[in-house]
Amino acid sequence: MSDVIIVGGGPTGLFLAGDLRLAGVRPQLLDLTGGNDLADLAEVWNDACTA
């Protein structure tokens, strides 16, 4: 179960999710690209930035 839901896996959503996780909060990130965890979304975002 998540404590917080974040909509959008762009740079702000990923940064917020990472900071919340460091603070002990369990975020759930929802994004159109799918993926089950931050690593999946970070890889998608990195691919988009380097394309």
> CA torsion angle for 41, 43, 36, 3 (degrees, to 10)?
-50
Q: pLDDT of 1-51, one tens digit each?
A: 889 988 888 889 888 988 999 999 999 888 877 655 656 656 655 554 554
From CA 16, how far away is CA 9, in angstroms rounded? 10
Under a CB-based contact definition with an 8 Å cutoff, are residues 8 and 35 in contact? no
Whether pTM > 0.75 for this model: the answer is no
From CA 11, how far away is CA 31, in angstroms rounded? 12
